Chain A
């Protein structure tokens, strides 16, 4: 099945053509999709696995056997700007469950690029990207914030290499930035998590302060926070990297250092305290960089095979709709519905899709379903007038059933005034009142006529 959907996805997104998606999923395809998804979603979710540096790397495979000793790990790298502390890790790709068939995944990049509206990412090849994450002396931003640890990862053969550059004191900054520049120059794309707003501008600031030319933020760049938010906002408690690790990869970090403590540990180190207190920061950074690779693989696969993660179906559907691929959007939203993973919002979007495509009966089924959902006492959904109003519009304008339209309007009005604070009447209530009195008038006219 995937091959057909994949082709159409690619075609639709490459051309950005509204109608190219063609006819919907055939019966046979739907059956197969349903079956595939029911298998994927069956049973309890697997127990989360522990995500920690020493499980990723067994000591034998470490390039540098001196790691984890209570001195600063790694060695010194000489640059034209002086030395900087450098540490390298190597992770076998086969250790990373989610990163399989990377080559296949790279085909998903045009879809992802299309969905994100970022054409510069259309030829993103996960094998040729540089994965980047910084640890800094503060979150305030501005010229007084330093990157003291920079993790840079890339695929080399069957391994993922992570190089960490560390400032033993601030004088090593130019060397760190120089080395980072070298690595950025020999990779086609940068991958980060929130790098658009944070890591890249910060590195650019540091480069300006060190009188270096060229900015990182102008490079082709995949900021994974963007697809994560588009697909999972509202699904998970938040869109932090570690939440995604837990939700998408079933991995939970053990004894990870809280981000807020990181600047303090570095300041203590600068003030002459034990370097050992910094080791958790190195490990934290390593895991962050490794996760960048797994997340990239996840999103690339997902572009091609939406069914891999039913929770993303609604979000993917919305993205396709935004790009004009209504048929695919509808298909994905219907899938979500039939898989019973559709959120309230997914269903509402499906309702509007049906309405726009002139499938009023289907749209009404959705509106009614949404009203039932809202009115179930145990669900505690916030009041949403849209399904009521849509029902009322349909009944009034299409079938001239003023009586039922009025009933829906008044039901909404009742719920609206219960929801709003006492005393003040909102704009919504005024609109509903207006609709209600118009319907009443039309009913009266009809009755008297």
Chain B
């Protein structure tokens, strides 16, 4: 971390590097490596200490070995000290904390009444930060008080913190629920608030970011009341638009510093595609087992290694595999640990410390360790599967990286389409800029919930703004709802309630489930988010902590408790859930045309179709929907498909679970689950294939649905790529446009079920007996109220279909595989070919002999 330690070793062909090059050149590895990029060593680049900075600070840092600041540090100081908001983009461990600590400590040294608020996305990061700050302050021998203020802060300490803390370190949730609603107690802080530090800015995107943007609106509103106007100092990992994200979060101009002056030794970044093990089914070796192989090689060599797995379940499975190998071996018991959200804080602290002091040699983690928690610099990073975004991949790879020793990051692809795309297009992967961080602070659900919180904090006055919607109308609506009271030009909070408690920044429901182990007495072993609970905690589920298996015996859904008991089984469980989507309102609708096809029509050129011409439950008739540029007469052109977006009701039902054997991944049984359904209003993009197209294919209705199911699988992956989001941010469903039936996988056998209703009231239907048949693919935003993907997908519909078609067409498997339309076990044998037929019919237009049919349908 410190400049003086940063001289690169001249001998960069060190032991570990020759080992790395050797292993990467072995035959089995070379056969599967699709690309290796070498990131050449980067020397340090330095800036200067500004003249104006308090000499005591300079002394203290130089006593800690920092003679010269890196260029990114001195650039950001300049901005901050001149009162400009700034976002610094640097990888972890490049000394970014100095970027904000130096100007802030300088300001407090010269004006002891000045205050600063530090925001970190998690409590763990806050703790790290306070320790580091305290060390510097102790060296300064200055009377500067720094405190963490979060849910763990004892209540008797809180008053002192409010009055005396110069630097208050907290997280957005605490600011939202604990500080802003009680701002009068923080009068001193708000009156003198000079700086707000926002670290890990890139985590504030999507739903969380949209909430945080509103939180900043509230924060600035309170600051205005007390007459302060703080400068925001942000730090972000590498994303495509750090400045843009910062500006949309803060709604103020922000300067950006993107040069990184920190040095790094040579680094290898390897893309690895496990070999195809079953040509017929198109199945590749699993990413988990190949990640395990790499981790084993590295750990045996003594390289400290982090393995990232995509889900909590995979973390547990992989930890167990590696423990099986190493707990008995020379590396020793406890040297390989699992790490994920849901572990209790002290266990996590212990693992972090073990990583820093080297006693933990390997850790298997979810993306929880992607953030800047201080675990030191590891030597190798293994990703079991593409983490979903390029930015995340670089973050996870960045956990390995040392100044003086070569390091390596291996991305092991899974069979999923995105993974396959990335490893097979290394130029795309290495060449494209990472994703954008997007927020939608004006999502009405999110906006209104924060307007309530803001009204609780301070009455609204006429003429104020808060977000881009018409504030006064929202306030008057809240008056009608008896939430606010209007007297004259002021709106006051008027409820016996604390609105911040009803809004969680991170998920739809603030109530977590606790997992209670009753094997010996009763003790809480973990917590599970409300949203994750339905697919994690059900009676019969195997729940794993540190690769110990527990079986859920009872679920107390009302009280959010799951009672488990230790078991020893050779299988784990995976929930089966399915979803029905019902259209509530159509916002926009268009006909994507055959003739338009590949030459991606810009969305804003699409002619809007007035919705009353298009009854909700009818097949969209091919009026309009043509771009003028297409130049063809709509009546004579081929039928496309109807694409629409709007508001929907989504109902998810967990119907049961599969038991999956360790190592072989065999399906060894099923279990029943009886849980309440999960309901949500959100926005969706959907696409309906017109009857004319279906008739022209000469396939049965069941075959068509199989094909749609396959398209949906691939389309969701492609959509995630285009939206630069995680696949899980969207959900998919195949069913009738009028919600008379929906399709789901049959239990225990291949093929589809078509049923009405959901849950206990469901009945199977015969597709051929239905009067109207409008198979529709829905892709919905997986967040109440929607988060902006649906309109984006609607705009890009023709590109999406084109890309989906290419993905399916270019896949070499005969009958469907996880890399295109889904594994053969899940789609029927015709699934892939029907999917292809539907798509080419939609995209390339009809043959001329089909025209009469099409005309009939249109009339």
Among A208, A264, A271, A424, point to the contact of B496 (Cβ < 8 A).
A264
Q: Shortest Cβ distance from A214 into chain B, in angstroms?
A: 13
B496 and A263 contact, CB distance less than 8 A: yes
Residues of A within 8 A of B690 (CB): none
Tell me the minimal C-beta distance from B432 to chain A in angstroms.
47
Given contacts A144-B455, A263-B496, A424-B521, contact A171 B490 (CB under 8 A): yes
Q: Taking the complex as formed, is A146 at the interface, i.e. its CB lies under 8 A from any CB of chain B?
A: yes
Residue of B whose beta carbon sits closest to that of A262: B496
A137 within 8 A of B: yes
Q: Which of A116-153 contact B (CB under 8 A)?
A: 137-144, 146
Q: Is the CB of B458 within 8 A of A143?
A: yes
Q: What does the 1/0 interface line of A421-438 toward B look like (CB < 8 Å)?
A: 000100000000000000
B window 450-476: CB within 8 A of A: 455-459
Residue A396 is within 8 A (CB to CB) of chain B in the complex: no
Confirm or deny: A270 has a beta carbon within 8 angstroms of a beta carbon on chain B.
yes
Q: State whether the Cβ of B499 lies closer than 8 Å to any Cβ in chain A.
A: yes
* A267 at the B interface (CB under 8 A): yes
Query: B182 — which chain A residues lie within 8 A by C-beta?
Result: 141-143, 205
**Chain A residues numbered 136-175 whose CB sits less than 8 Å from any CB in chain B:** 137-144, 146, 169-171
| Contacting residue for A137 out of B183, B187, B494, CB 8 A | B494
- In the bound complex, residues from chain B placing their C-beta under 8 Å from that of A169 are 485, 487
Known: A208-B187, A209-B184, A424-B521. A270 touches B494 (CB 8 A): yes
Q: Is the CB of A144 within 8 A of B521?
A: no
Give which listed residue, A205, A208, A270, contacts B485 with CB less than 8 A: A270
- Determine if A171 and B487 form an interchain contact, defined as CB atoms under 8 angstroms apart: yes
Flag whether A204 is at the interface (Cβ < 8 A): yes
In the complex where A169-B485, A171-B487 touch, is A143 in contact with B521 (Cβ < 8 A)?
Answer: no
**Residue B498 CB within 8 A of the other chain:** yes
Q: For B187, what are the chain A residues with a Cβ–Cβ distance below 8 Å?
A: 208
CB neighbors of B among A271-317 (8 A): 271
User: What are the interface flags for B174-187 relative to A under an 8 Å C-beta threshold, 1 for contact and 0 otherwise?
Assistant: 00000001111101
Known: A140-B496, A264-B496. A170 touches B490 (CB 8 A): yes
User: In chain B, what residue has the closest Cβ to A208?
Assistant: B184
Establish whether residues B458 and A209, one from each chain, have CB atoms under 8 Å apart when the complex forms: yes
Residue of A nearest to B452 (CB): A144
Query: Pick the contact of A142 from B456, B487, B492 — CB < 8 Å?
Result: B456
* Complex Cα–Cα for A151 and B103 (A): 50
* Contact pick for B457, options A144, A201, A270, CB 8 Å: A144
Q: B679: shortest Cβ distance to chain A, in Å?
A: 28
A201 to B182, CA, bound (A): 11
B147 interface contact, C-beta 8 A: no
Shortest distance in angstroms between B476's beta carbon and chain A's nearest beta carbon?
Answer: 14
Which residues of chain A are within 8 angstroms of B482 by Cβ–Cβ distance? Answer: 267, 271
Cβ-based interface call for B493 (8 A): yes
Chain A min CB distance to B307 (Å): 39
How many whole Å from A249's CB to the nearest CB in chain B?
30
A176-212 near B? 1/0 per residue, CB < 8 Å: 0000000000000000000000000100110011000
Q: CB-nearest residue of chain A relative to B488? A: A171
Q: Are B184 and A143 in contact (CB under 8 A)?
A: yes
Chain B residue with minimal CB distance to A270? Answer: B485
Which chain B residues border A201 with CB–CB below 8 Å? Answer: 185
A138-B495, A170-B492 given as contacts; is B184 within 8 A of A204 (CB)?
A: yes
A140 touches B498 (CB 8 A): yes
| Chain A 250-274 residues near chain B, CB threshold 8 A | 263-264, 267, 270-271
Encode A53-97 as 1/0 by CB contact (under 8 A) with B: 000000000000000000000000000000000000000000000
Cβ of B493: which chain A residues have Cβ within 8 Å of it?
137, 144, 146
Q: Which of A144, A264, A267 contacts B456 (CB 8 A)?
A: A144
* B490 and A205 contacting across the interface, CB-CB below 8 Å: no
Q: Separation in Å of the B509 CB from the closest CB of chain A?
A: 20
Residues in A neighbouring B496, C-beta threshold 8 A: 137-140, 263-264, 267
Chain B's closest residue to A204 (CB) is: B184
CB distance from B492 to the nearest CB of A (A): 4
Write the nearest CB–CB distance from B499 to chain A, whole angstroms: 7
Nearest to A264 among chain B residues (CB) is B496
Interfacial chain A residues near B501, Cβ < 8 Å: 140
- Interface centre among A140, A264, A271, by most chain B C-beta atoms within 10 angstroms, is A140
* In the complex, residue of chain A having the shortest beta-carbon distance to the beta carbon of B497: A140
> Closest residue of chain B to A140, judged by CB?
B498
Instruction: Determine whether the beta carbon of A267 is less than 8 Å from that of B494.
Output: yes
Q: Are A143 and B181 in contact (CB under 8 A)?
A: yes
Q: Which residues of A contact B497 (CB under 8 A)?
A: 138, 140
With a 10 A CB-CB cut-off, give which of A170, A208, A271, A424 has the most chain B CB atoms: A170
List residues of B (587-643) whose CB comes within 8 Å of A's CBs: none
Residue-wise, chain B 512-532 has the 8 Å CB interface mask toward A (1 for contact) of: 000000000100000000000
Tell me the smallest distance from the CB of A145 to a CB of chain B, in Å: 8
Name the interface residues of B206-255: CB closer than 8 Å to any CB of A.
none
Whether A170 pairs with B498 at a CB distance below 8 angstroms is no
Residue-by-residue, is B815-847 near A (CB-CB < 8 Å gives 1, otherwise 0)? 000000000000000000000000000000000
Residues of chain B in range 339-382 having any CB-CB distance to chain A below 8 Å: none
Kindly state the separation between the CA atoms of A263 and B493 in the bound complex, as whole angstroms: 12
Q: Which residues of B contact A424 (CB under 8 A)?
A: 521
Whether A143 and B183, one on each chain, are in contact in the complex, defined by CB atoms closer than 8 angstroms, is yes
Closest residue of chain B to A263 (Cβ to Cβ) is B496
Residues of chain B contacted by A143 (CB below 8 angstroms): 181-184, 456-458
The distance in angstroms between the C-alpha atoms of A350 and B419, with both chains bound, is: 76
Chain B residues with CB under 8 A of A141: 182, 498
Q: With A137-B494, A267-B494, A424-B521 as given contacts, are A170 and B184 in contact (CB-CB < 8 Å)? A: no
Question: How long is the Cα–Cα vector from A23 to B181 in the complex, in angstroms?
Answer: 56
Chain B residue nearest to A201 (CB atoms) is: B185
Contacts of A271 in B (CB 8 A): 482, 485
A315 to B492, CA, bound (A): 45
CB of A306 to closest CB in B, whole Å: 32
A137, A140, A170, A204: the one contacting B487 at CB < 8 Å is A170
Taking CB atoms, residues of chain B closer than 8 Å to A208 are 184, 187
Which of B423-445 touch A at CB < 8 Å? none
Per CB-CB distance, the 4 closest pairs between chain A and chain B, nearest first, are A144-B456, A138-B496, A140-B498, A144-B493
29 interchain pairs, CB-CB under 8 A = A137-B493, A137-B494, A137-B495, A138-B496, A138-B497, A139-B496, A140-B496, A141-B182, A141-B498, A142-B182, A143-B182, A143-B184, A143-B457, A143-B458, A144-B493, A144-B495, A144-B498, A146-B492, A146-B493, A170-B487, A171-B488, A205-B182, A205-B184, A209-B458, A264-B496, A267-B494, A267-B496, A270-B485, A424-B521
Can you name 8 extra interface pairs (CB under 8 A) apart from A138-B498, A209-B458?
A: A140-B496, A143-B181, A143-B456, A143-B457, A169-B485, A171-B487, A171-B490, A424-B521
